[in-house]
Amino acid sequence: MTDLWRLSAADLAALIKSKQVSAKEAATSALARLGAVNPKINAVIDHRPEQVLRQAESIDAALSRGEDPGPLAGVPVTIKVNVDQAGFATTNGLKLQKDAIAKSNNPVVENLVKAGAVLLGRTNTPAVSYRWFTSNLVHGDTKNPRDPAITPGGSSGGAGSATAAGIGHIGHGTDIAGSVRYPAYACGIHGLRPTVGRIPAFNASLPERPIGPQISAVSGPLARTIKDVRLALAAMSARDVRDPWWMPVPLEGPPMPKRVALCVNPDGLNPVPEVQAAVRDAGQRLERAGWTVEEIKDTPPMQEAAILQTKLWLGDGYEAQLALAEKEGDPGALACLRGNRAKVFPFDFTELSRALTRRATLTREWLLFLEQHPVLLMPVSGELPFADQLDRKDEESFQRVWHAQLTQIAIPFFGVPALTVSTGLVGRLPVGVQLVSQRFREDLCLAAGEAIEAGGTPPMPIDPVG
């Protein structure tokens, strides 16, 4: 059997478990695909073929002993370079961290290994995972396989680019302001930002994170089918005591009405016509699948939440973050910090207390809204995927980018799950929609996502466009 790299994770795992193909054959196919297309897109910045094959051989050996290696048996997956993987540097796109070799796996990585996944390679991210574009001074630029002139997204741009191009069947990403959802959108695949506390995470190689990232940053999967997103979520979310925020909540909640609130212009986003059309088209797909869709004029506040989220993310320890970026000399990281200085600095204890207090009020308003509307359908971004490096062009472009990403920045402030579903192409530019639901109700996002996916998606995986 050829082109195993083209298969979904679910289909490949089934073939390997039934011994119709071996995990080593799947790994060999994945490595060949990586070698063929990665030079064009620079999505994977570190991989060790011998180690990949040894992992696959261990899966085959377990199967030969009659053991169940797990739901991801032999499935090649990629890991973002900002989380610990034993024996590899957790660079987070920084020259300054090129020697930060992890001694143990981050819980999300360990969970993937326990589920039987084969760790194929490390994917690129912008410096400090700050941006919706993926370039840095240690690993270079990552290109979008659908069109090198547009961003692959960020900060999990390597994961999005790799998964879209068929390098691995599932990509691990992280999301504090859209870093899973936007690469999925820009690369024309799907990506889930789970509820805070769903997927455990911890980097032993790096200092503990401040409270803002602790209560809003998550790991999540990117994949080419919603079924694979669902499979990856189950594997990634197993218990790990190292994460004090992890919660033992079932992946499936109680039945809820198949009811969706559709909002094309949340809190003054003012999306371009193509984005509005994609949201309405997704609503029609849901209606055809038996969902009740109610169009609403607006959502609870997002603009204020986005500002406060930016403060908690960049303002807490701003001077130290700026000093790090200046020492690194990364132009993208410096543009992000300097461009947001007026929003986030100074940020003292009083500001921190006010932000956290206001978070309770705004989150309550959102949870009450989601109690009445089990699923919210809205844009991922106010625009189609940006020209690559647009945020570094000039001040006007920088502000344009940040405004367009309103929904991505605001949602993490509330800790709720959100799913990007890719729905089509506008020329060569991918477009998609975002689904949001109540805390720990990823299952509702995925159910709605499957109904939307059934109406059509861009071709995937794809050969990179030159």
Which active-site residues does the annotation give?
80, 155, 179
- In order of 144, 153, 272, 317, 385, the CA distances from 149 in angstroms are 8, 12, 19, 34, 10
* CB-based contacts of 366, cutoff 8 Å, min separation 6: 300, 414, 416
Distance CA 223, CA 251 (A): 18
Residue with tokens 């106010």: 382
Type of residue found at 202? F
Strands 76-80 and 118-123: parallel
Residue with tokens 């290696």: 69
Nearest partner of 407 among 183, 194, 178, 193, judged by Cα: 178
Nearest partner of 83 among 150, 168, 156, 191, judged by Cα: 156
Distance CA 140, CA 137 (A): 6
Nearest partner of 235 among 179, 192, 175, 190, judged by Cα: 192
Task: Establish how many alpha carbons lie within 13 A of residue 252's alpha carbon, considering only the half-sphere containing its beta carbon.
Answer: 4
